[in-house]
Amino acid sequence: MSTDMSLWSLVAEASLLVQLVMLLLLLASVYSWSIIIQKQRLLSAAFRDAKTFENRFWSGIDLVELYRQLNKRRDGLTGQASLFESGFGEYARLRKHEGMGAMDIVLGAQRAMRVSLSREMDRLEAQLPMLATIGSTSPYIGLFGTVWGIMNSFRALGGAQHATLAMVAPGIAEALIATAMGLFAAIPAVIFYNRFSSEVERLDNRYETFNEEFSTLLQRQAQAQVRE
């Protein structure tokens, strides 16, 4: 008597708990890939926008004019454009107050940029913890399904008078499928989590550098206006 060892047959005839484990791992894999695709698009756009804004900022454009152009946008500012808009807006507001020193004005602008930077990093890091969770837990969930499937196989073997490989092969095969699905869900999640974390760190350093350079520029302007 032959045993159907096709993948679909093994999944369909698996125990309910092993099927639930497989379903959970399948959902985790689909969800992780949706995060990966969204995050790849987000970070690619962030690097592209950073390069575009830096070229525009260091092209010699008047900062007041750049601020007005950014204020007219209705699509929402992100990245360095958001940092610039927050910092220069606070700088312009504080500059109108009489009696404020140059350093007080610059410190106020720096605080506004730090708040904007914090929000930007929260946006870039969103869902990365979930990717890390899927990558770290999926192998153990698959291992649980494996242990349960093998346990059922040996339980059935114990009640048989004549043990054959055909009796335990389906149970062991379905258990190994659970292990494979756990790895299938975990490996991409771990790879892309490490990649995205590195890219987010690079963007953070890039934004921090811009904040420092822009703060120096504002300090020079503020000191020149105080002397006047």
C-beta separation of 138 from 189 below 8 A: yes
pLDDT of residue 122: 95
Please report, for the chain, the start and end positions of each structural domain, with discontinuous segments joined by +: 7-227
- Summarised one tens digit per residue, pLDDT across range 116-150 is 999 999 999 999 999 999 999 999 999 988 888 88
- The whole model's pTM is what? 0.83
- Summarised one tens digit per residue, pLDDT across range 149-193 is 888 777 766 655 565 656 666 667 777 888 889 999 999 999 999
**pLDDT band for position 1 (cuts 50, 70, 90):** very low
Question: SS3 for the chain, per residue?
Answer: CCCCCCHHHHHHCCCHHHHHHHHHHHHHHHHHHHHHHHHHHHHHHHHHHHHHHHHHHCCCCCHHHHHHHHHHCCCCCCHHHHHHHHHHHHHHHHHCCCCCCHHHHHHHHHHHHHHHHHHHHHHHHCCHHHHHHHHHHHHHHHHHHHHHHHHHHHHHHHCCCCCCHHHHHHHHHHHHHHHHHHHHHHHHHHHHHHHHHHHHHHHHHHHHHHHHHHHHHHHHHHHHHHHC
**pLDDT band for position 4 (cuts 50, 70, 90):** low
pLDDT of residue 198: 96
